């Protein structure tokens, strides 16, 4: 059994598509794996960290405004625009010699407490610069006699870059949240919203939030008028 790094492994992303029939939002990455040796690989237990690289993209004025909550004012972006983790995922690669292709499930969330969701929601058109960082264990044939098995690690520097179209992410979210979004609220805040809805006789949560926002705008306008009068 050997613990040496596996030589010659290279990864590339052929495509990423939105899955329409999953229980939760999911993208699927089609990976191509190439091995520079002639040995038979019995399996790979593959782990992947998916990272968004925001510094590798240009942002229009509307996007810059929408991203202030994540990265601060535009003049600070030289310091704040840094790669961040979007998700972690894993799969098992079946045996192959030379090269193979495998599907890697990328589970998504529309939770606005997650930086990735906030970032993606703020984008207009174009693409999302991504890096997929791979690790894991490679199982191969054993010694010269062919008995037993060998174990090697996926080299630490194995990665692949991909430009994910923003439209693909919007498509997967639309499959599960058509014309809507999702936010998580504290139980006490949700109870206060429910009480407000009942007292006002409102028929939906959309109407409830819209009414709260309208009341807030009216109070802000009244305060401004009071300040002017004063």
The predicted structure's pLDDT at residue 212? 87
pTM recorded for the entire structure = 0.77
Answer whether 187's CB lies under 8 Å from 146's CB: no
CA distances from 226 to 212, 218, 229 (A): 21, 12, 5
The predicted structure's pLDDT at residue 6? 44
Answer whether 136's CB lies under 8 Å from 153's CB: yes
pLDDT in tens, 169-188: 999 988 988 776 667 777 88
Residue 44 three-state SS: strand
Residue 76 three-state SS: helix
Mean pLDDT of the chain, nearest integer: 87
DSSP string, 114-180: SHHHHHHHH--SSEEEEEEEEEEEEEEE-STT--SEEEEEPPTT-EEEEEEEHHHHHHHHHHHSTT-
Residues 109 and 60: their CA atoms lie apart, in Å, by: 25
Asked if residue 26 has pLDDT above 60, the reply is: yes
The predicted structure's pLDDT at residue 180? 66
Mean pLDDT calculated for residue range 63-81: 93
Ramachandran bin of 222, using left for φ above 0, alpha for ψ from -120 to 50, beta for the remaining angles:
alpha
Token readout for 146 is: 């062919």
Of 143, 141, 149, nearest to 40 by C-alpha is 141
pLDDT in tens, 109-167: 877 768 898 899 999 999 999 999 999 999 987 665 556 678 989 988 999 999 999 99
């Amino acid at each position: 059994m050997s613990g040496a790094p596996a030589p010659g492994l290279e990864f590339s992303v052929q495509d990423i598509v939105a899955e329409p029939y999953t229980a939760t939002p999911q993208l699927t990455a089609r990976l191509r794996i190439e091995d520079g040796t002639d040995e038979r690989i019995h399996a790979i237990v593959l782990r992947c960290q998916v990272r968004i690289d925001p510094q590798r993209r240009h942002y229009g004025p509307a996007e810059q405004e929408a991203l202030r909550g994540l990265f601060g004012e535009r003049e600070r972006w030289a310091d704040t625009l840094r790669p961040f983790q979007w998700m972690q995922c894993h799969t098992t690669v079946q045996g192959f010699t030379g090269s193979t292709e495998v599907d890697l499930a990328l589970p998504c969330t529309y939770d606005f407490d997650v930086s990735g969701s906030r970032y993606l929601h703020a984008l207009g058109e174009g693409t999302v610069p991504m890096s997929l960082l791979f690790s894991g264990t490679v199982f191969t044939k054993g010694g010269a006699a062919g008995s037993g098995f060998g174990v090697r690690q996926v080299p630490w520097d194995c990665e692949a870059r991909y430009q994910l179209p923003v439209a693909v992410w919007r498509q997967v979210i639309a499959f599960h949240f058509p014309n809507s979004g999702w936010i998580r609220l504290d139980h006490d805040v949700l109870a206060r919203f429910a009480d407000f809805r009942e007292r006002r006789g409102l028929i939906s949560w959309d109407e409830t939030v819209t009414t709260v926002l309208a009341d807030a705008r009216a109070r802000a306008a009244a305060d401004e008028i009071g300040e002017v009068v004063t």
